[in-house]
Amino acid sequence: MVENGVIFGRYQIFHLKHMEGVLAAKMRCKKLYIGITHSDIVAFAATSPLDKNGTVKRDNPLTYFERFEMIQGALRDFGVKRKEFEIIPFPISQPDLILQYAPKDATYYMSICTEWDEEKYRILGELGVNREVLWRRNPEEMGVTGKIIRELITEQKEWQQHVPRTVADYIVTHGLDRRIRDLNLMYRIPGKKE
């Protein structure tokens, strides 16, 4: 078991597949830093053509703070002690800033499913950090995604079973389901751009 680990994602909705990766990484380190990418889609906008989801509000409806609170609540609910993790910004679109937020001596955990994941793996390699692939999957094997959950919310279909209970409660009590629905519906209006 290593001292420090890092895992990162957009977490535009923190769901059970995200939790699977976070817990797999946590089992390998004493302290886990959970990086939230695209903490601000203006200041940290996508810079790679492979990063297709880091540019528009529809795909990034939740603020950094909302994602922070959801992840923190979900980890507590799953029994991870607060002293065993930190939640940090992770500016993957500006790699020269990553080590201002995350420890260089950590092991950086990833799952690789897409070309964008391969590029992120390369970016971390150029930073000289230790990388470990938790698993490789084809895009078809990814299972549920934040995009799928946001679509279920928009269509007012069952979505809560795909997220930790605390995340579902947070989304509903803070009216985030309405924000997600409104953004998705606005984007579907012909000729309407964000």
CB 50 within 8 A of CB 187: no
Whether 45 has a pLDDT exceeding 50, the answer reads: yes
How many helices (H) and strands (E) are present in the chain, helices listed first? Answer: 7, 5
pLDDT single digits (tens) 48-59: 888 777 778 888
Quote the pLDDT of residue 48.
82
Quote the pLDDT of residue 110.
97
Distances (CA, A) of 3 to 21, 23, 51, 88, 112: 18, 15, 30, 17, 23
Whether 191 has a pLDDT exceeding 60, the answer reads: no
Going from the N-terminus, what domains does the chain have, and what CATH number goes with each?
2-188 (3.40.50.620)
Whether 10 has a pLDDT exceeding 60, the answer reads: yes
d(C-alpha 174, C-alpha 32), whole Å: 27
Name the amino acid, one letter, at 12. Answer: Q
Confidence of residue 194 (pLDDT cuts 50, 70, 90): very low
pTM of the entire predicted model: 0.92
> Stretch 44-69: mean pLDDT, rounded?
85
> Stretch 34-39: mean pLDDT, rounded?
94
Greater confidence, 188 or 120? 120
Quote the pLDDT of residue 190.
52
The mean predicted confidence, pLDDT, of the chain is: 92
pLDDT single digits (tens) 80-96: 999 999 999 999 999 99
